[in-house]
Structure 1
Amino acid sequence: MPSKTLSFNRAIFTQNVRSVGWVGLVHLLVLCFALPLQILMVYTSERRPYYETYWKNVFSVSHEFQVLIMFTIPVLLAIFIFRYLHVKLSADYIHSLPFRRETLFFNHLLFSILVLLLPIVITAIILLFLQSALELDFFLSAYGIACWIGTTFLIELLVFFASVFIGMVTGMSVLQGVLFYIMLVFPAGITVLVAMNIQYFLYGFSAEYYLNHNIERIVPLFRSFELAHRPLTWTEIAAYLVLIVVFFALSLWIYKKRDIETAGQAISFRSLRPIFKYGVAFCFMLVGGLHFGETQSDFAWIVFGYVTASALGYFIAEMILEKTWRVFRKWKGYLYFVISMLVIGILLKIDIIGYEKRLPSLAEIERVYFSEDIYYFDEDIHIDDSEYVSPKPFFATKENMKNIYLLHQQIIKDKELVKQTTLNSRSVVFGYELKDGSKIVRSYVIPFEKYKSFYKPIVESKEYKQIHYPLLKKQDVSGLDKITIQPNNEWAETTFITDKKQMAEFVAVLKSELEHETAEQIFDGRNPWGHIELVWDGNERMAVTWNKSYTRLDEWLKLKGFEKARTTADDIDYAIVIPNKEGKPFHEFIDEELKNHKDAIKITDKQQLEECLWQAGTNDEIPTYVIGFYDADNPTAQIETFDEHYVPEFIRKHFE
């Protein structure tokens, strides 16, 4: 009996060739267009040298188009090879033939595997010919082409079996394609939605931490875009093979259980309809809550988003299942959903598991991560680009761990105050690596002014400065090649220091500024003069912000003749200051408004202009005062602002 079930049937194969064979032909044509034809076009064009450096392997050629092929052709094949299941007349006819369902299933699979594999193999043979005829060894090799065959076939096989599985649980071909692509991104999508919504209920929950583990790589579609520079690992290959076997087994089992009468129905099995219905309502609910949570930042609006979006999703799902819009009488099912979600929401809100107050003891902590973001927590070294390396803000000294811990405890105690404050807020992340290897992460947005006293001993510590200023760890600067000082405004010139002696002196002064920097200077609200880049032999680079609090560095630059590194009073003819009584945003101010303002004052005194330069420049969207610096050689003014803490006394007195 098994041999008859698995045996090849010529009649079924012939029928498949007639009805679905075109998919195999399209598969071959698009692969040839994406690879051999593309290679020939580049080989005969003037851009060949560019592609010779860009192409590293077969996946580098028309990579996006290859991914499109891998995730469309198998889906089309799965839809059309089992199309008869979704049309009642065809389903009745096919299943009236003297074939067991297992025989039909295995013969369809055998034909489908040939449709997927043969075009890939033929394309690979053409590539091998091109490699030998055109001497394309710089990116084509027999081994590379073999890897391409295996990887492409594996992914297409996974996509095909996943689509077949979806086709077995639905009775509509269109819905089969839609549900497949939803399922494709579902693991990453639902993870994002759940994590982002949990943070509205649990104080301190860090959604970014759980979404920062390259979650997109669990989705084959997103992972396929990386194949050009990162091939599949053996673990990924094994996982894909397991998924193929699982989808195959489930598809066969469902096919044997499936009723012919379900053709045309959205979901073939009545027992799966509640899962579909409530699953759609749940996903809609999360999307609605996330939308209002990110745009309104008010829990009442978040609840509104949950209710309206879930109701919309629930009744849309009912319409799909019933194939009519007259479904609103079935409101009781939605009521059960609301009650269930309400119970879950209340349990999260009252923090039944004690998540919000749970902290390790100081004795359990190995080291503490303390930063404004989470992105360096799980990486040994985070590389921003090919040249700069950013250190990780981990603290291991007892004093700093204690101070950070005390800050965290205070934030937990001030929960209601912190959640209600939005002005002058700052993100803070606490990550504890414990001695037993486990980790605890919490994230908050806090009113920064209230906690400056807690920050002070931390940021003034030697450990903090060595973490945030890698230059302090650099003992030998003899290999320094160049120092570039880039000002923040267009009036000043970019300054280069290349003299070895001057560079050594500059670094010594800069190190002294960093070592003696106080918390008040670190939290200085004024915009910096500019940025300093230090370049060593071998292209090692370090960047340091040139803050206005670095007065000794400013004096050294003047002494050595680099006074043009920043704008000084000598570069300015006059300045105009106006109060921002209307509370207008900074970006709305223009030259003419400053000049014609009724309360404007004009400043020409060089000493006062220099003081204005030092104190101007904040990031406040709604500034207290606005100042425009004017110079005859520049057609437009340099417009900046004053923060309340940095307004020069003579300006304050004038407007009192």
Structure 2
Amino acid sequence: MKSGILSFNKGLFSQHARSVLWISVFFLLSQIILLPLGMLVVRREEWGIQSILETNPDNVLLTISFSVQYVTYLIFPVLAGIILTSYMTKKGSSDFMHSLPFKRESLLTHVYAAGAASLVLPIVINAAIVLIMRPFVHPISYTIGDIAEWAGLSAFIVLFLFIVTVLIGLFIGPAILQGVMAYGIFIIPAILVVLTLTNARYFVNGLAVDSYTTKIMEEGIFFIRAGAYEAKPFTGTEWLVYIALAAAAVAISYYVYKVRPAEAVDETIVFPFFRWAFIFVLTFGAMMIGGLYFAELLGGTSAWMITGYVIGALAGYTLLQMIVQKSLRLIWPWKGFALFAALMVVLLIPGMLFAKSYENAVPDSTDITKVYVGESNEPFENEFYMEEQKALLQPDAGFMTGADSIKQVRSMHSRLIGMDNGLGLMEAYPVTIIYELSDGSVLRRQYNVDVDSVADAAGELRSNPEFIKASSSLFALKSWDAFKYLTVQNEAFGSSPVANVADEKTASAIINAMKQDVLSRNTQVLSGDFYSSAGWIEATVGDNMNQLNISQAINLSDEQTINVIRESVPNGQTFASADMVEEAYIVQTPDRASVQQLTDFVWSGEEEVDLSKIPLDSRKVADQEELTALMNPAGLTTEAGSRMLVLKWKGNPGFETTTIASLKE
């Protein structure tokens, strides 16, 4: 045998390669089954081919079974990493490997080489098969560039996970814990940030938690981000960041292996510093979960949340000590817990200072280029939720640029700052404000407040024509050229449509009438007012992947729309008609509390509500002519008033609907 230090040794490489040969074989078989055979299966099924051709993907290889392939990318690299580093966890194997005439750097190089070969070779073979199949799978079409993109992405994902698993194996002993932490290292940082923000919103008024956490979960976790590559490929910056992280992990692993004590084979976590870091970080996570449990599920106050933090921290710290000490009869190191508690107190001080400045920040009017305010985290995200659908929106849809609008939003924002955090309220109303500033930055705030307080703070804004347009999807589309048809739904008929309208002239008249009615009244966004719905209209627009339905509730006070429906739509004369009412009551509601009492009674959740038992001063409308006059749209409003008209529609058998409208004074 040659003596000295060898940079590469075929025997050592072969030994490692044999240990992961079965992984390489199964990985290759899975890739052949999922992609080449998957293409042949899809090609045999007409509907499968049709769906692929209709979506017109940028790379068809990332469309056919990529989601299932991705699962294999998450499993096989971790298994390979665990197997190739397993010799470090057994004293006999560790002593033998470290007695060989190799530097530790060389030993680790052989581990990386064997693992990379076992994972990349199946991808290369699969790419060659796909290339050979290319002329024979028409109408499925892909280029050599598509093959290179698929192979490059696949190779990077498996190598990145393999590198991280090897790095984790240098810190952690047990194979099961190594596997858990190989996935956890990608997930835990983002989860801890999300838990911290979710807890912080109970103490920091206006914290835009939903916006931040959504972005973190979608873009801050590599597993989720890579899984969404087909819909949203990595940007150049993301590629640079991920490659840099992989390179850094390799460099760190060489240093860690060099200083790793050979006798630490029996330790759960090899280095004492990282042992405590592991305990403290996960104890913090357990503490956040404890506080959140008392806040969300038990509706707890601040005192109960603090109790939850203490219980969560104690439970988490104890469990983690059991894992590290590998014993249920543990020695409870109270000094470690005291240090953890002290760290939390120290970190709380800058957190409180940040919270105060965060809460009171309202940008100057001169710094604001545009502003959004609404119930959702982003403009129209609940209607235009796919990237293809968002292409139908006008640029900056939902945002306002007018000086009056900006002034009114700032005024509303200032009032929201002084309101109590309503997260504990069952009826808390969500309000999101987004400022885009002249320096390109974005300031977000999110509030959950009492519904009456929102309506009062937004009173002036709700009558602003720019805000009315910005909050309605009727005005958000670039063009109605992609319109397909309208579906008119009558409240009395439940889910059964009155008619479908495809005639362009009639549909245009209805859409214009809806726009006129929307602009003629205060918007019901940012108010506690109910929708006095007579029915609704769904407009189907777009094709294939970008097709969506825009739904618009039609109120009993929408005079223009109701008239057009009655005149132009088949069976439209029944829409919001007194003939469709089974019974009606006029109810006296002198204040907001009585309005709330009425709505709670009508929509109590019971299958059938007996309107004769309304717990307020009321009168039944028995005369049909009087009812017809009362239902005249000109005499109704969506704003809550002192007299309410309660209508129980005849409906279909087994279906009951009740509508409440406000009578004008």
TM-score, structure 2 normalization: 0.82
Structure 2 match to 1:549: 557
Taking the aligned partners of 1:571 and 1:515, their CA distance within structure 2 comes to: 28
Residue 420 (structure 1) shift: 8.7
Taking the aligned partners of 1:58 and 1:37, their CA distance within structure 2 comes to: 12
Residue 248 (structure 1) shift: 0.9
Structure 1 match to 2:192: 190
Taking the aligned partners of 1:108 and 1:560, their CA distance within structure 2 comes to: 76
Structure 2 match to 1:430: 433
Taking the aligned partners of 2:50 and 2:478, their CA distance within structure 1 comes to: 41
Structure 1 match to 2:338: 335
Partner residue of 1:569 out of 578, 581, 584:
578
Taking the aligned partners of 2:328 and 2:375, their CA distance within structure 1 comes to: 49
Taking the aligned partners of 2:548 and 2:276, their CA distance within structure 1 comes to: 59
Aligned-residue identity in percent? 25
What secondary structure sits across from 2:458 in the alignment? Answer: helix
For the 8 Å contact 2:485–2:500, the answer to whether it is kept is yes
When structure 1 is superposed on structure 2, of 450-459 and 154-163 the one drifting more is 450-459
Q: Look up the equivalent residue of 2:407 and give its one-letter code.
A: K
Taking the aligned partners of 2:174 and 2:374, their CA distance within structure 1 comes to: 51
Structure 1 residues 257-406: aligned runs within 5 Å: 257-295=259-297, 296=299, 298-327=301-330, 329-345=332-348, 348-349=351-352, 354-376=357-379, 386=389, 389=393, 392-406=397-411
Distance 1:490 1:10, change over 3 A: same
Partner residue of 1:490 out of 493, 500, 508:
493
Taking the aligned partners of 1:479 and 1:139, their CA distance within structure 2 comes to: 28
Q: Does 1:207 align with 2:209?
A: yes
Q: Does 1:252 align with 2:260?
A: no
What secondary structure sits across from 2:147 in the alignment? Answer: helix
Residue 116 (structure 1) shift: 1.5
Partner residue of 2:447 out of 433, 444, 448:
444
Taking the aligned partners of 2:481 and 2:67, their CA distance within structure 1 comes to: 47
Q: Look up the equivalent residue of 1:490 and give its one-letter code.
A: F
For the 8 Å contact 1:35–1:61, the answer to whether it is kept is yes
Structure 1 match to 2:114: 111
Q: Look up the equivalent residue of 2:49 and give its one-letter code.
A: P
What secondary structure sits across from 1:263 in the alignment? Answer: helix
For the 8 Å contact 1:67–1:221, the answer to whether it is kept is no
Taking the aligned partners of 1:277 and 1:468, their CA distance within structure 2 comes to: 48
For the 8 Å contact 2:535–2:553, the answer to whether it is kept is yes
Q: Does 1:606 align with 2:624?
A: yes
Structure 2 match to 1:654: none
What secondary structure sits across from 1:213 in the alignment? Answer: helix
Distance 1:377 1:358, change over 3 A: farther
Q: Which stretches in structure 2 are left out of the alignment for 5+ residues?
A: 588-593
Taking the aligned partners of 1:167 and 1:319, their CA distance within structure 2 comes to: 20
When structure 1 is superposed on structure 2, of 382-391 and 264-273 the one drifting more is 382-391
Partner residue of 1:121 out of 124, 134, 139:
124
For the 8 Å contact 1:84–1:91, the answer to whether it is kept is yes
Distance 1:420 1:224, change over 3 A: closer
Structure 2 match to 1:175: 177
Query: Aligned pair count?
Result: 635
Residue 472 (structure 1) shift: 6.3
For the 8 Å contact 2:584–2:621, the answer to whether it is kept is yes
When structure 1 is superposed on structure 2, of 312-321 and 429-438 the one drifting more is 429-438
For the 8 Å contact 1:577–1:628, the answer to whether it is kept is no
Structure 1 residues 610-621: aligned runs within 5 Å: 611=630
Q: Does 1:517 align with 2:521?
A: yes
Taking the aligned partners of 1:230 and 1:537, their CA distance within structure 2 comes to: 21
For the 8 Å contact 2:581–2:647, the answer to whether it is kept is no
Taking the aligned partners of 1:42 and 1:479, their CA distance within structure 2 comes to: 30
- The Cα RMSD (Å) is 4.2
Q: Look up the equivalent residue of 2:557 and give its one-letter code.
A: S
Q: Deviations over 1:194-231 (max 9, x none)?
A: 22122122111111232343642333321232233444
Structure 2 match to 1:73: 76
What secondary structure sits across from 1:432 in the alignment? Answer: strand
Structure 2 match to 1:408: 413
TM-score, structure 1 normalization: 0.83
Residue 70 (structure 1) shift: 1.2
Taking the aligned partners of 2:48 and 2:516, their CA distance within structure 1 comes to: 52
What secondary structure sits across from 1:389 in the alignment? Answer: coil
Taking the aligned partners of 1:352 and 1:19, their CA distance within structure 2 comes to: 54
Structure 1 match to 2:134: 131
Q: Deviations over 1:316-363 (max 9, x none)?
A: 111111111233632232122223323434653465752222223333
What secondary structure sits across from 2:99 in the alignment? Answer: coil
For the 8 Å contact 1:528–1:547, the answer to whether it is kept is yes
Taking the aligned partners of 1:302 and 1:247, their CA distance within structure 2 comes to: 38
Residue 91 (structure 1) shift: 0.8
